[in-house]
Structure 1
Amino acid sequence: MAGSDITIHGPDGDFSAYQTGEGPAVIVLQEIFGVNAVMRELCDDYAAQGFTAICPDLFWRIKPGIQITDKTEEEWKQAFDLFSQFDVDAGIKDVAATIAQVRQSGAPKVGAVGYCLGGQLAYLTACRTDADACVGYYCVNIQTLLSEASSISHPLMLHIAGQDEFVPPEAQTQIMDALSEHGLVTIHHYAERDHAFARPGGAHYHAEDANLANARSINFLNDKLK
């Protein structure tokens, strides 16, 4: 399903987003490679499942229009440089602005799903916005943000990779210990998987567990948003 770029009017300026599909809205939160072909294809996949999918360009404050891949060392270096410059708090303001604009356009419910950096943002979206449901895949650094969990007021699902090179075992334990008893949080742990196991074509892609995680996410979003 072909999508198009739209403009989001944020509190600090306008930025672009890729949008496709019809139905309840899902804000798709990017990895560290920008709104690239992988993110656009994910949006198309959510559209095929009956959602309006919107992927905002959250790197716009650094440089608008970033679309790189995970295929070369130079691009990985650029991605980590972008990650180091990224202002998470400003990014969440942009996510909130995207949610608000989508609600104003008439979407009955709005959720969010994020990957890697976007997974962290999905967790914070659950903590800091009025999103109706959020999903985070292999979220980075949320063990440093667990004090915000008390603000979660809508359902949140997390997919944790047991062999995640960017989320060490002690961080995973902190996350699961802190959130497993939270009545609105569902955690799925994939003991043998590494970071980005659900990214098609990625070095750690695992089709079986990616399909399992994605089915869980779709069922969750169908239940909470439709």
Structure 2
Amino acid sequence: MATMVTVPTADDTTMPAYRADPADTPRAAIVVIQEIFGVNAGIRSKCDALAAAGYLAIAPDLFFRLQPGIELDPDVPEQLQQGLEWMGRFDQDQGIRDIEAAIRFARAAVGGGKVGAVGYCLGGRLAYMTAARTDVDASVGYYAVGIDGLLGEKHAIAHPLLLHVAGDDGFVDKATQAAMHAGLDDHPKVTLHDYPGEDHGFATQFGDRRSEDAARLADERTAAFFRDHLR
């Protein structure tokens, strides 16, 4: 079952979120962190797949402070540009506070049980920041951007973090990927998986960016990661 809900935030506003519930008692909850394209059909489908796997899934509309209900298609050039413009206006620190509110909401919904987070693109970066700045139990980031600039926060990562790195990412160059490995390979809580030849967005649910074999492998690794750490 899926529905739109409102999540109370730390500053007494309410944040829209897409909620997908499993058929039976959830094994845990997972906060799904959007790309720059909003809580679009692909993100909602990610939530639905997690619910089918037994998790309560919550996708907060993190752009709601700019404009609620943004839904963009990355395969349409004009909409891709709009997404980049929204990202430029987005307050990431406020976004983490809103993700933390979604974590609290999700944890209450599963009776105080464990909560994970998974994010894509901008959401992958936010998943890293969530791991460093909140009490989330486990986090996954797909093709996270700008992690080299966040390595100073790695000491604060107390719970498991998995990062999927696209080898030919048009937004994350080879130098940045090397910096990620140099900074994180020896971290006891962090695992990086590389996908040689894959571009940014390879695990999108729909559309031209999807690379089927790599997406399936990354999603299988994510599923195993959450099975291990959200029980």
| Alignment TM class, shorter chain as reference | over 0.9
Pick the aligned partner of 1:132 from 129, 133, 137.
Answer: 137
RMSD: 1.0
In the alignment, structure 1 residue 26 sits paired with structure 2 residue 30: yes
Distance 1:107 1:34 in 2: 28
Indicate the residue corresponding to 1:188 in structure 2: 193
Match of 2:46 in 1: 42
Equivalent residue in structure 1 for 2:125, among 117, 120, 128: 120
Which structure 2 residue ranges, 5 or more long, are not aligned? none
Quick one: which amino acid aligns to residue 48 of structure 2? D
TM-score by length of 2: 0.95
**Where has structure 1 moved over 6 Å in runs of 4 or more?**
none
Deviates more, 1:16-25 or 1:49-58: 16-25
CA deviation string 1:56-115 (max 9, x = no partner)? 000011101111111322211211110100110000000011111222231410000000
Of 155, 164, 167 in structure 1, the residue corresponding to residue 169 of structure 2 is 164
Taking the aligned partners of 1:102 and 1:8, their CA distance within structure 2 comes to 9
1:12-33 per-residue CA deviation (whole Å, 9 max, x = no partner) reads 3111100112410000000000
CA distance in structure 2 between the partners assigned to 1:70 and 1:98 by the alignment = 25
Aligned residue in 2 for 1:11 = 10
Query: What secondary structure is seen at the aligned counterpart in 2 of 1:145?
Result: helix
Quick check: 1:21–1:47 contact (8 Å CA) kept in 2? yes
Structure 1 Cα separation of the partners of residues 209 and 108 of structure 2: 39
2:100 counterpart of 1:100: no
SS in 1 for 2:193: strand
Distance 1:49 1:158 in 2: 21
The AA in structure 2 aligned to 1:7 is T
Q: Distance in 1 between matches of 2:206 and 2:135?
A: 33
Amino acid at match of 2:9: G
Find the aligned partners of 1:172 and 1:107 in 2 and give their Cα distance.
36
Give the residue type in structure 1 aligned to 2:117. A
What does residue 211 of structure 1 align with? 216
The Cα of 1:39 is off from its aligned counterpart by 0.3
Amino acid at match of 2:21: G
Deviation at 1:200, TM superposition (A): 3.2
| Structure 1, 198-207 or 185-194: larger mean CA deviation | 198-207
Is residue 60 of structure 2 the alignment partner of residue 53 of structure 1? no
Q: Which has the larger displacement, 56-65 or 198-207? A: 198-207
Q: CA deviation at 1:131?
A: 0.3
Q: SS at the partner of 2:5?
A: strand
Identity %: 45
Shift of 1:204: 2.9
- Structure 2 partner of 1:151: 156
Task: Provide Cα deviations, 1:112-156, integer angstroms capped at 9, x if missing partner.
Answer: 000000000000010000000000000011110110000000000
Number of the residue aligned with 2:87: 83
2:229 maps to 1:224: yes
Contact 1:25 1:107 in 2 (8 A): no
In structure 2, the residue corresponding to 1:76 is in which secondary structure? helix
